[in-house]
Amino acid sequence: MTTMAERTHTTSGAPEPASGTRTLSFSKAINEGLRAAMRHDDKVMLMGEDIGPLGGVFRVTDGLQAEFGEQRVVDTPLAESGIVGTAIGLAMRGYRPVCEIQFDGFVFPAFNQITTQLSKIHNRTRGAVQMPVVIRIPYGGGIGGVEHHGESPEALFAHTAGLRVVSPSTPQEAYTMIQEAIASPDPVLFFEPKSRYWGKGAVDLEAPVGTDTLNTAHVVRQGTDVTLVAYGPSVATAIKTADALAEEGRSAEVLDLRAISPIDTAAVVASVRKTGRCVVIHEAPVFFGAGAEIAARVTEECFYALEAPVLRVGGFHTPYPVAKHEHEYLPSVDRVLDAVDRAFAH
């Protein structure tokens, strides 16, 4: 089987070939990425609740069952452990399942299958059995959802060896990253920032598909005075903060991690050694969050380059709040600016 690393994306012979650069919403970009991966490899299949005729509650799988049929786009029973557990068995038989968990808060019934089985079978079998399974999880808040519809549980998975944990921030990244995740022989937790689903951007449908986005951070904006580290939904917040700082005459570098397992430590370190300041932004609770890991690594490696302690902006140690309060919980531009001010005050 050709791996996606060996090719640039083509859709020759497929109906309605997607080509060129188009303006797509974030959700449509994932949809096109799934379609491209399914056209490329007939072992790729989708599993999840309401992903067939409905196209998923966010319509990310819209039209895919019509194109690829019920054997490859499977409306599963309403049981998340079953989705992931059967995906593991399908992977053992040579398939590449892409599971959709309907909302972040519903991944927990599958937590055991993900952390004790999916993450460990390659190791348990000393490499004899690979687990090319992708688990797509719409996550994060800001859409006025009810309980369990706004959470950010990524750190719980990053803490487990054997899993890769990634989150795209733009339609282009979403399109490329979903294909790289599907091509990965390791299991990937693919966190989709649901507040960004409707945002649009240019997507090059012929962008090369390799492995970069699963392993490396991306410098979204160059800067000299402070490094803003973010991923997923917080990258847009970081960019807006950088815009505001620019008006004040401060130059912020914005780093889009893309992956939090692995963390591209070298990229973070290189940036902070240059700027001397670091603020980490994520919607997940700060306590034991990805920011804590980054702060520890930066402190250890950039100690003499730091002008100020690494600061974190994110969720509080509360249950994800009710929709009426969520915008005070989420890391806003104002709260990030406050953290940058504190960093400069040192």
Partner 1 sequence: MTTTNGSNEAIPTLQLLDPQGNRVTTRGTKGYRDRAAALTAEDLRGMYRDMVLTRRFDDEATSLQRQGELALFAPSRGQEAAQVGSAYALRPQDYVFPSYREHGVLHVRGLDPVDRLRFFRGSDHGGWNPTEHNTSVYTIVIGAHTLHATGYAMGVQRDGTPHDKNDGTAVITYFGDGATSQGDVNEAMVYAAVNDAPVVFFLQNNQWAISEPTTRQTKTPLYKRGEAFGLPSLRVDGNDVLAVYAATQEALERARLGQGPSFIEAFTYRMGAHTTSDDPTRYRTSEQEEQWRRRDPIDRLAALLRSEGALDDDFEAEIKAEGDELGAQLRDGVRALDGGSAVSSMFDDVYATPHGTLATDRAWYEAYDAGDPPASQYAIADSAQGGAR
Q: Which residues are annotated as catalytic?
A: 149
Q: Check binding of 95 to partner 1 (CB under 8 A).
A: yes
Single out the residue of 13, 16, 20, 126 in contact with partner 1 (rule: CB under 8 A). Answer: 126
* Residue whose CB is less far from partner 1, 70 or 334: 70
**CA–CA separation, 219 and 140 (whole Å):** 22
Single out the residue of 11, 130, 251, 332 in contact with partner 1 (rule: CB under 8 A). Answer: 130
Query: Which pair of structure tokens corresponds to residue 126?
Result: 């000393």
CB 211 to partner 1: min, Å: 7
Applying CB under 8 A, the span of 93-101, 147-155, 199-207, 279-287 interacting with partner 1 comes to 93-101
* Residue whose CB is less far from partner 1, 81 or 251: 81
Question: Is the preceding peptide bond at 187 cis, omega within 30 degrees of 0?
Answer: no
Name the strands in the sheet holding 73-75, side by side, starting at the edge strand that comes first in the sequence.
Answer: 73-75, 44-48, 96-100, 134-139, 188-193, 164-166, 259-261
**CA–CA separation, 180 and 93 (whole Å):** 21
The site string for partner 1 over 284-303 (x = CB under 8 A, - otherwise) reads: -------------x--xx--
Cβ-based burial of 69 (10 A; exposed 0-12, middle 13-18, buried ≥19): exposed
Applying CB under 8 A, the span of 14-22, 58-66, 246-254, 256-264 interacting with partner 1 comes to 256-264
Q: Given its phi and psi angles, is residue 162 left (phi above 0), alpha (psi -120 to 50 degrees) or beta?
A: left
Applying CB under 8 A, the span of 18-26, 106-114, 142-150, 274-282 interacting with partner 1 comes to 106-114
Q: Where are the alpha helices (DSSP H) in the chain?
A: 26-40, 64-68, 80-92, 111-112, 121-124, 154-158, 171-183, 234-247, 265-275, 290-302, 326-329, 333-345
Q: Check binding of 332 to partner 1 (CB under 8 A).
A: no
CB 330 to partner 1: min, Å: 27
Give the residues lining the site for partner 1 (CB under 8 A). Answer: 45, 71, 76-77, 79, 81-82, 84-95, 109, 112-113, 116-117, 120, 122-130, 161-162, 164, 184-186, 211, 215-216, 261-266, 269, 297, 300-301
